[in-house]
Amino acid sequence: MKQQYKQLLVFTPKPFVKWAGGKRQLMPTLSKHIPKKFDSYFEPFLGGGAVLFHLISENPKTKCFVSDLNSNLILSYITIRDRVEELISALKVHSENYFKNPKTYYYQIRESNPKNQIDKVSRLLFLNRTCFNGLYRVNSKGKFNVPLGKYTNPNIVNRENLLAVNHALQLNHISIKCQDFTKTLETAQKNDFVYLDPPYQPVSQTSNFTSYTNDSFGYEDQERLFLEFQKLDSKGCNVMLSNSKSDEVLDLFEDYSDKTIEISANRSINSDSKKRTGHSELLIKNY
């Protein structure tokens, strides 16, 4: 049975958006810390889904409960699952128009505010492929405000990966929701595995990147998250959390210090490539 699933996942699904804080590059390290055996998987800060895609490629039958507060991102997952061919057609149109006149077309789409599902999602994926640094970032009014990137030949359609993601999301028992993390975690039980990858607590005043949605994730949210971590721990779940190596996080999770490790990360959030140096971040576990 497992072999049958594997054959259908010939193309390993990968994140279809480049997401701030995306864990794709860290997967070789993170995967070593994923428990060997568990029941269901919970990921309530899904983002680009690097960990989800890794996990379901390894264990296609795992029951997964994933979510994020960003409604356009979740709409993208739902659209790839349910209407992938329509989405691919819309992306082909974006691609043709873009290559005729990249700058004009990019800003025209950036200023647009489509209401229908396919137009909304194809706009997000198009902008993600062509914008500067490929980062999704909205301003305080919820507007996407990133300038055009410097790509000569961006792969705007990426049909193969969209089909791989479509297969994976249909084959698996995956619940995808747009909601606050606490709601998703309500149903986690003993022996489930939970990965928590929230917007990071800023380490310095200049690194306060928290604008994935237009609601920022403040220190009170980090406290709420800590309480959830404790609750999951007492329920008997296996919990793993990523966060910055900041004094606030070290203090909050002091009780788990013997199960906290530092991992080195190379993030590409900073728009100045000279400042994109490797740094340490924390991986906190209860097992």
Ligand X SMILES: C[S@@+](CC[C@H](N)C(=O)[O-])C[C@H]1O[C@@H](n2cnc3c(N)ncnc32)[C@H](O)[C@@H]1O
In degrees, rounded to 5, the angle at the alpha carbon of residue 51 between the alpha carbons of residues 48 and 57 is: 110
Q: With respect to ligand X, which residue has the nearer C-beta, 19 or 126?
A: 19
Stretch that binds ligand X, among 110-118, 166-174, 191-199, 253-261 (CB under 6 A): 191-199
> Which residues in the chain belong to E strands, given as ranges?
41-43, 64-68, 174-178, 193-196, 238-244, 260-265, 279-285
C-beta atoms surrounding 80 within 10 Å: 24
Q: Which of 13, 44, 60, 154 binds ligand X (CB under 6 A)?
A: 44
19 contacts ligand X (rule: CB under 6 A): yes
Total residues at interface with ligand X (CB under 6 A): 21
Q: With respect to ligand X, which residue has the nearer C-beta, 21 or 154?
A: 21
Q: With respect to ligand X, which residue has the nearer C-beta, 181 or 193?
A: 181
Q: With respect to ligand X, which residue has the nearer C-beta, 222 or 238?
A: 222
State whether the Cα torsion 172-15-47-72 is positive or negative: negative
Distances (CA, A) of 144 to 112, 131, 137, 258, 271: 10, 10, 6, 41, 16
Structure tokens at 187: 């149903």
- Closest approach of Cβ 227 to ligand X, in Å? 13
Q: Which of 199, 211, 226, 249 binds ligand X (CB under 6 A)?
A: 199
Closest among 98, 124, 97, 100 to 110, alpha carbons compared: 124
Tell me the C-alpha distance between 213 and 136, whole Å: 9
User: Which residues, 48 to 107, sit near ligand X by CB under 6 A?
Assistant: 48, 50-51, 68-70
Q: Which of 14, 42, 47, 185 binds ligand X (CB under 6 A)?
A: 47
The three-state secondary structure class of 272 is coil
- Closest approach of Cβ 79 to ligand X, in Å? 17
Catalog residues that contact ligand X under the rule CB under 6 A. 19, 21-23, 44-45, 47-48, 50-51, 68-70, 180-181, 197-199, 212-213, 217
